[in-house]
């Protein structure tokens, strides 16, 4: 599967049973979809927007797919489009220094404002 942004890449893409284990990362922490870590430093982990973009393309190809990740399980394209923005609003830091998953990067939020 080709990713929609050249900076976004697979760290892991392993077949497991009837599914796959996938881990996304970025080639450059200065490029698109680079996540900001807890300390505020750029990382090579893919941000929420990178995962959203990947899954949006996946569901375009396979609208009935079921996808599970650390934040949610999506039963098809409709469920993904309805519930993925909620996962982006989850706090990924502490109660005293909250940080929404969708805010842990420098992406253009206008593309994903939901």
Task: Dump pLDDT digits (tens) for 3-35.
Answer: 667 889 999 999 998 889 999 999 999 888 999
Q: What is the sign, positive or negative, of the torsion defined by CA atoms of 30, 36, 42, 45?
A: negative
For the stretch 74-112, pLDDT in tens is 999 999 999 998 988 989 888 998 889 889 988 865 444
Helices (H) and strands (E) in the chain, counts: 2, 6
pTM of the model: 0.84
pLDDT at 78: 96
pLDDT of residue 3: 62
pLDDT computed for residue 14 by the predictor: 93
Nearest to 114 by CA among 88, 80, 77, 78: 88
pLDDT of the residue at 77: 96
pLDDT above 90 for 64: yes
Amino acid 93: pLDDT: 85
Distance CA 29, CA 44 (A): 5
């Amino acid at each position: 599967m080709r990713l929609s942004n050249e900076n976004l890449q697979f760290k892991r893409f392993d077949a497991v049973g009837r599914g796959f284990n996938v881990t996304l990362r970025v080639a450059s922490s200065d490029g698109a979809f680079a996540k900001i870590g807890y300390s505020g430093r750029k990382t090579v982990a893919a941000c929420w927007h990178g995962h959203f973009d990947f899954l949006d393309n996946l569901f375009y190809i396979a609208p009935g797919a079921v996808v599970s990740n650390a934040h949610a399980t999506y039963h098809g394209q409709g469920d993904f489009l309805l519930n993925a923005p909620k996962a982006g609003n989850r706090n990924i830091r502490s109660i005293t220094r909250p940080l929404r998953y969708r805010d842990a990067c420098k992406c253009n939020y206008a593309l994903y404002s939901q």
